[in-house]
Structure 1
Amino acid sequence: MGSSIVLSGGSGFLGWHTRVLARALGLPAPHLLTRDDLARPARLAGLVDGADRVLHVAGVNRGTPTEVKDGNEGAATALAEAIQQCATPPKTVVFANSTQAGNGTPYGDSKAAAAERLADATRWCGSEFVDLRLPNLFGEHGRPHYNSVVATFCRLLADGGTPRVQDDKALDLVHVQDAARALLGVEGADLVPARRTVSDLAQTLGTYARTYRRTEIPALTDPFDLKLFNTYRSHCFPGHYPMPLQRHTDARGGLVEVVKAHGDGGQTFFSTTRPGVTRGEHYHLSKVERFVVVRGEAEIRLRRVLHDDVVTFRVTGDKPVVVDMPTMWVHHITNVGTDDLLTLFWTNEIFDPDRPDTYAEKVSP
């Protein structure tokens, strides 16, 4: 077949993040299985035949007990039958299972049954089977009231609301990009969850929202904090941008506070760009990057990875504003004026050439 990676559920939350990570790592673009493929085992067998890695992410976690049971067990049964029909079985089959598997609920029991059917099929044909039991996943572009309470709180705060805690329990949380790394078999993938209560999340995200409304960067003391902040930022984009900066003036001239970062200072640099020249054409998986045009006129354009729509901001040094690049959005800045453009950039981390977190791609593919 044409691709060595086959993915079900590729349009969902975890599926999209897995495709973005595969793209960033230079892996083959996964072949995406459709619902129609999963409903036709003979066709499905041809699609997974000889694959290096089959990632089964598709599942049902909302609906009636029957819908949840049939959705999870039916898809796994179809894939299991297809694997057994392959002339050359896939090398590895990875199932995005849940830590709730077998917990007595329709969802948990159907996930456990799905894992058992895939384990039997791969054992029969000799494929490696990875039963990846994932806790609560959160991350950029999660669906409120569906993917996680983190997404729900982020959306409420981005819209100016206040999260309400109804069931203050402890949650084991893993960022969705870490789950994607485990799915793809990336060496060093870390699935050790961070435990936070629902009230802790509400308080932390509320602090982030209040701080960020002032264009300030909250203290990001550990990798989990950065992932949580980037998740919140994804719900602010594009509606909150550009964010105006206050200019203080007196007889001597003017002053604009561009970056106020609580905690580590990160790295600040500036560039000059000649008329008509474009800088950027890349995206980041975790880095926070701020653009502020100090002099001249520019157009900042962004596109979410694996999507087509482009967001455009026209900015000028006469009225300085903040545009922070959301993670997993390709971006560039073009001098559209007649004079040299002066732009100030800030990132939350000092550039490391061995781990640049910068992946080349054009905004206009």
Structure 2
Amino acid sequence: MKRVLITGANGFIGKNLYWRLNQFGRPKKILVEKGCSNQKWNNREKNNLKWNNQDETLEILSYDIDNAWEELCDFINRADFIFHLAGINRSKRNEDFETGNKCFTEKLVNILENTGKNTPLLISSSIQAVQDNPYGVSKKGAEEAVFEYGRRTGARVCVYRLPNVFGKWSRPHYNSVVATWCYNISRNLPIQINNPDTEIELVYIDHVIDEFINALNGYENRGEDGFCHIFQTFKTSLNELADILYSFKQSRATLVVPNLQGDFQRFLYAQYLSYLPENDFGYNLQMRHDNRGWLAEFIKSKQFGQ
């Protein structure tokens, strides 16, 4: 049996990783352990997964902010691979970044090193780790703790400096500008663009999870700089991003199918639809009558007509 620990399992990336590990490939039994300070530690449920080794069972240990510290210690001791996704993205207090990112990672690494197992460790960092602000400094400190753990023990470590991640289960006003704008535009709320020409780099959540699973199987994309990379990203400007999202909203009124020719547009559209209020999935049709009968347009395309 191979045990995998996910810290931050209830967060944006953690949820997607957890879900994928349970839905991945053809059916195979695994065990999923959800730690909870108010429940017994051995609360388990059976799910399905295709694992790299068809004869090996995978057990997922899930840790998040509601768990007891003793559970984390127990999970670290039992884990054969750790996805360290927990951290603080936004806070009104600067000290929260150091506590939730740098210090928490240092504590995790210390516990891990004391096990003597040299357990492989993957951490999700941020491209902002190069910036001189409280968040960037805290992420840089977390990276250094992980790299140092690898140097001291010889354990395999994977450090990913992720750009802006978008996709399903992303929290508006917390995880990304895409989530915030999808939420606001779908609800007729204003969005704020300080510099329309600012270029941003985005990565789709499914591509992140694909790479993380590759790393779990020992096939991470490691660069000469020691960092691991996700190569399939998208670059756009804030103005272009806003235009695309507003075109999705306008398509509900014009009945014209938005441009979905590229992967980026399709991924954005899927996320935009996920934020639509339930009562907005339906829309009124204009019916035209004459002596031949009646006609109503359901949908139109600039490429293919009605």
**What is the TM-score normalised by the length of structure 1?**
0.63
Q: Distance in 1 between the 2:60 and 2:172 partners?
A: 27
Match for residue 135 of structure 1 among 138, 144, 163: 163
Cα offset for 1:133? Answer: 0.8
Aligned to 1:332: none
Which has more helix, going by share of residues? Answer: 2
| Deviation string, structure 1 residues 98-128 (Cα, Å, up to 9, x no partner) | 1111321111111111111122223333321
- Gap change, CA 1:94 and 1:10, over 3 Å in 2: same
Mapped pair 1:22 → 2:21: yes
Contact in 1 for aligned 2:252/2:283 (Cα 8 Å) = no
Mapped pair 1:198 → 2:238: yes
Aligned to 1:222: 262
1:253-268 paired onto structure 2 within 5 Å? 255-262=295-302
Aligned to 1:31: 61
Q: Distance in 1 between the 2:260 and 2:59 partners?
A: 33
Helix, strand or coil: the match of 2:117?
Answer: coil
Flag structure 1 segments of 5+ consecutive residues without an equivalent: 266-365
Q: Distance in 2 between the 1:165 and 1:244 partners?
A: 32
1:87-236 paired onto structure 2 within 5 Å? 88-90=117-119, 92-168=120-196, 169-185=198-214, 190-236=230-276
Helix, strand or coil: the match of 2:159?
Answer: strand
Q: Distance in 1 between the 2:17 and 2:303 partners?
A: 31
Helix, strand or coil: the match of 1:100?
Answer: helix
- Gap change, CA 1:29 and 1:104, over 3 Å in 2: same
Cα offset for 1:57? Answer: 0.7
Q: Distance in 2 between the 1:263 and 1:139 partners?
A: 27
Helix, strand or coil: the match of 1:7?
Answer: strand
Cα offset for 1:23? Answer: 2.7
Q: Distance in 2 between the 1:87 and 1:156 partners?
A: 49
Contact in 1 for aligned 2:287/2:294 (Cα 8 Å) = yes
Instruction: Give me the identity figure in percent.
Output: 26
Which has more strand, going by share of residues? Answer: 1
| Deviation string, structure 1 residues 310-360 (Cα, Å, up to 9, x no partner) | xxxxxxxxxxxxxxxxxxxxxxxxxxxxxxxxxxxxxxxxxxxxxxxxxxx
Aligned to 1:66: 95
Q: Distance in 1 between the 2:304 and 2:203 partners?
A: 24
1:75-94 paired onto structure 2 within 5 Å? 75-86=104-115, 88-90=117-119, 92-94=120-122
Cα offset for 1:237? Answer: 4.5
Contact in 1 for aligned 2:164/2:201 (Cα 8 Å) = yes
Cα offset for 1:37? Answer: 5.3
Cα offset for 1:89? Answer: 3.7
Q: Distance in 2 between the 1:29 and 1:257 partners?
A: 51
Q: Distance in 1 between the 2:77 and 2:107 partners?
A: 14
Instruction: Give the AA of the match of 1:156.
Output: N
Task: Name which of structure 1's ranges 27-36 and 143-152 shifts more when overlaid on structure 2.
Answer: 27-36
Q: Distance in 2 between the 1:69 and 1:258 partners?
A: 53
Cα offset for 1:162? Answer: 4.1
Cα offset for 1:258? Answer: 4.0
Cα offset for 1:252? Answer: 5.2
Contact in 2 for aligned 1:7/1:56 (Cα 8 Å) = yes
- Gap change, CA 1:190 and 1:111, over 3 Å in 2: closer
CA RMSD of aligned residues (A): 2.8
Q: Distance in 2 between the 1:242 and 1:119 partners?
A: 51
Q: Distance in 1 between the 2:194 and 2:294 partners?
A: 48
Flag structure 2 segments of 5+ consecutive residues without an equivalent: 26-48, 50-57, 222-228
Q: Distance in 2 between the 1:141 and 1:248 partners?
A: 40
Q: Distance in 2 between the 1:262 and 1:140 partners?
A: 28
- Gap change, CA 1:224 and 1:107, over 3 Å in 2: same
- Gap change, CA 1:31 and 1:248, over 3 Å in 2: farther
Aligned to 1:55: 83
Cα offset for 1:78? Answer: 2.0
- Gap change, CA 1:237 and 1:176, over 3 Å in 2: farther
Cα offset for 1:253? Answer: 5.2
Q: Distance in 2 between the 1:24 and 1:215 partners?
A: 35
Q: Distance in 2 between the 1:204 and 1:80 partners?
A: 42
Q: Distance in 1 between the 2:289 and 2:107 partners?
A: 68
Cα offset for 1:264? Answer: 8.0
Matched residue pairs, number? Answer: 261
Contact in 2 for aligned 1:38/1:79 (Cα 8 Å) = no
Contact in 1 for aligned 2:89/2:175 (Cα 8 Å) = no
